[in-house]
Amino acid sequence: MTAVATAWKPVDRGVTGVAPVRRLTVLYDTECPLCTFAHNWLAKQRQLVPLEFVPAGSQEALRRYPELDHAATLTDITVIGDGGQLYRDSAAWVVCMWALREYRATAHRMSTPAGLKVAKQVVLGAAKYRETHRDRQAGGGAYRRKDGWTYDRNGGWYYVPPGSGTEPPACDSGCRTAD
């Protein structure tokens, strides 16, 4: 039995020299049920490389990474290494598994060309699940309460800029009285 050699060239991520990864920041959509589940699951695992979770599109994410396309971080998980490495799509999921004690060997298998195809299929399945559930939310996920959008059963969605002092009462049961 002989081994099959393949030509593999590393992907240039713009990092010069050897940049060990000592910490990973995971940007995730807090309003996505699948993303929240993945966040909770990752946070409970034993980590060889610490994972820090920051809500995608938040003020904290904007402050830390001003050059990043923050709209894209809301469509899929984005992971940023402390050396400036940027991982998206299936590579982000693989690097999260690599950071976990129990899944590092699996991550190494998934980082091969054949493994990346499997990882891509898993990510596409997760994206399909996410889109299905996003459409079930009122507003299809386009109107986010934390951005200042409020839903009125009689009038639909309306925008109130956060901190404008015109927020609706804290307890709005939806019952209306005649004015």
pLDDT digits (tens, 9 = 90+) for 75-114: 878 999 998 899 998 889 899 999 999 989 989 998 898 8
User: First CA to last CA across the chain, in angstroms?
Assistant: 85
Residue 49: what pLDDT? 96
- Give Cα 25 distance to the centre of its chain: 10
Q: Which residues on adjacent β-strands are paired with residue 149?
A: 159
Return the closest-CA partner of residue 25 out of 69, 64, 59, 63: 64
Report yes or no: 43 and 96 within 8 Å, Cβ to Cβ. no
* Element containing residue 78 per DSSP (H, E): strand 78-81
Question: What does the mean pLDDT of the chain come to?
Answer: 76
- Lowest pLDDT segment from 37-41, 131-135, 169-173: 169-173
Residue 129 is which amino acid? Y
Report yes or no: 60 and 54 within 8 Å, Cβ to Cβ. yes
pTM above 0.85, yes or no: no
* SS3 call for 122: helix
DSSP state of 84: S
Report yes or no: 110 and 121 within 8 Å, Cβ to Cβ. no
Residue 166: what pLDDT? 53
* Element containing residue 86 per DSSP (H, E): strand 86-88
Q: What are the b/e assignments for 110-145, b being 16+ CB within 10 Å? A: bbeeebbeebeeebeebeeebeeebeeeeeebebee
DSSP state of 160: -
C-alpha gyration radius of the chain? 21
pLDDT digits (tens, 9 = 90+) for 141-162: 555 666 777 666 666 666 777 6
DSSP state of 142: S
